[in-house]
Structure 1
Amino acid sequence: MNNHDKTPVTVIGLGLMGQALASAFLRAGHPTTVWNRTASKAERLVADGAKAAATATDAIAASPLVVVCVTDYTAARDLLDPADGWDGRVLVNLTSGTADQARAMAAWADERGATYLDGAIMAAPDVIGGDALIVYSGPRDAYDAHEGTLSSLGSGTRHLGDDHAVTAFHEMAVLSLMWNMLNGFLHGAALLKAAGVDAASYVPIAAQGIGTVSAWLPGYARSVDDGEYPVLDSTLDGHLAAMRHLVEASESLGVSAELPALVKDLAERAVGAGHGEGGYAVLVEQFAKP
């Protein structure tokens, strides 16, 4: 298939992620138009075969599919509000933001005759075009029409639903997972460092532990969806005893116990509510409270 058979695409916003997106489209053979307020950011992409538009309006006119990736929704609106020529275009916004902002952007696009897909990138720039996970929500027919083009950005491309807010909720959920996982690793590394153990030696053990916990997730998800919390690995009472040990170990080494103490407090509340003999997934009820 030559480039004439490939859907033309426009990328607006050429930060690290925007450049990675445009490069992936180029590698996949899509005629790619780029635009950024700082024109010099397009130079490398132009050298690789992209076309630099003079204005945002020109960039929109160049392609039926317009992908935007900038700092936040305010920046996106600052760039897009003055532009014309949206009628019939599909706007894919890969800018991080809230569910309310996604719905507002969908209404904005509809007023201008464009179809809106909200997206969330669950990957770093260096894996765009490879095994990157990028999720989308909005009208399914618009996603289906451009799925082949969007799959150029990553093998993990998927549609989550017609509600434009769904991607934002998933993005926040993944951020919670990421930070909690990284904070757990860093707390453990601080504890080991205080005991004279280097973090590098901890990595293979931590990675195996993450794999073990990952294998538990389908069972935990069933518990959450069913609202029933059978014991899958240990009772909450058993987990709570270990949490107390972690708090004590942290304090004895002079390491902050704030993170394990927070988790311990949540578990103690659940035990106090009569869930000690149940499974750990019952803590979802604590997280679900204001």
Structure 2
Amino acid sequence: MTQNTVEKTSVTLLGLGAMGTALARTWLAAGHPLTVWNRTPARATPLAAEGAKVADSAVEAVAVNSLVVVCLLDDASVQDALADADLAGRDLVNLTTGTPAQARERAEWTRERGARYLYGGIMAVPPMIGVPDSGGYVFYSGSPELFERHRDTLAVPAGTVYVGRDAGFAALHDVALLSAMYGMFAGAAHAFALIRKEDIDPASFAPLLADWLVAMAPAVHRTADQLRGGDYTRGVVSTLAMQVAGTPAFLSTAEQQGVSPELVSPYFELMRRRLAEGGGEEDLTGVIDLLVR
């Protein structure tokens, strides 16, 4: 080994799906000694040829290194894989997709076994891993000391964003951003459906749609400012009353175009409810309070 390789943190990685394999290859390429395990052993064969040590069991893999990264199918898989492993003194970084509650429960489960815990929410797809400037990153939450200890190693596959000591915060940030993404996709789907039967080229329409969404994106800062200050009328450009008055045109257009309004109707209904409660001079921020139970 070269001196450079010796200085690199050794990593154990459990789980070699598409994301796990991308993580593994990135750490190997950066010179980190890597031990891997996967429930289906054949997935590890290509990585062995690239320099990874392949463990016969999760228990064996965990025993090799103090830094153990888990990237499995779900929380139940993590439970099964680590059930018989000796975690005492280990640093466990869980990159398995889960809920905030699962992340917190797994943090306590880990502490009871004498290990330190960090949860990561991956904001990337496998092709973005290990690619500089791809835009991919990982939210981390849990032990700040653990994050600082392994920050450089964790930053090899993708950028790192630490969001707090609460182990559930990374999962919460992950799901919140992805929920916003799906809301955007829903709006885009409705927009494309409206033009679907017309002599309008979707490829020509797409840049207009993308530019419009980008132009509207900064509105989230105004929403955040209103939520923080509690004044939902601050900086309002178009009042809720004005926007509700315009919704019949959107619904009528959908009907005329033969398009189901099911993607937009629920939001319009929330807007009407907030207006009925006296929020006519507000922005759309008040809808958030209707959603919080």
The normalised TM-score by structure 2 is 0.93
* 2:139 counterpart SS class: strand
Partner residue of 2:179?
176
Pair 1:269 & 2:270 matched: no
Change (3 A) 1:236 1:44: same
Pair 1:114 & 2:120 matched: no
Partner residue of 1:44?
46
Q: Runs in 1 of length 4+ with deviation above 4 angstroms?
A: none
Partner residue of 2:238?
234
Pair 1:153 & 2:154 matched: no
Corresponding residue to 1:71 among 68, 73, 90: 73
Partner residue of 1:95?
96
The normalised TM-score by structure 1 is 0.94
Pair 1:202 & 2:202 matched: no
**Structure 1 position 18, deviation (Å):** 0.8
Q: What code does the residue aligned with 1:90 have?
A: D
**Structure 1 position 186, deviation (Å):** 1.0
Q: What code does the residue aligned with 2:8 have?
A: K
Corresponding residue to 2:222 among 219, 222, 225: 219
CA contact (8 A) 1:10 1:33 kept: yes
**Structure 1 position 196, deviation (Å):** 3.3
Partner residue of 2:7?
5
CA distance in 1, matches of 2:290, 2:248: 18
**Structure 1 position 137, deviation (Å):** 0.7
Partner residue of 2:128?
127
Q: Higher helix proportion, which one?
A: 1
**Structure 1 position 28, deviation (Å):** 2.1
CA contact (8 A) 1:267 1:283 kept: yes
**Structure 1 position 191, deviation (Å):** 1.1
Q: What are the superposed Cα offsets for residues 161-194 of structure 1, whole Å, 9 maximum, x if unpaired? A: 1111111211221221111011111111111113
Gaps of at least 5 residues in structure 2 are: none
CA contact (8 A) 1:93 1:118 kept: yes
Q: What are the superposed Cα offsets for residues 27-77 of structure 1, whole Å, 9 maximum, x if unpaired? A: 222111110011110122222221111211221122221111111101111
Pair 1:140 & 2:141 matched: no
Gaps of at least 5 residues in structure 1 are: none
When the two chains are superposed, the root-mean-square deviation of aligned CA atoms in Å is 1.5
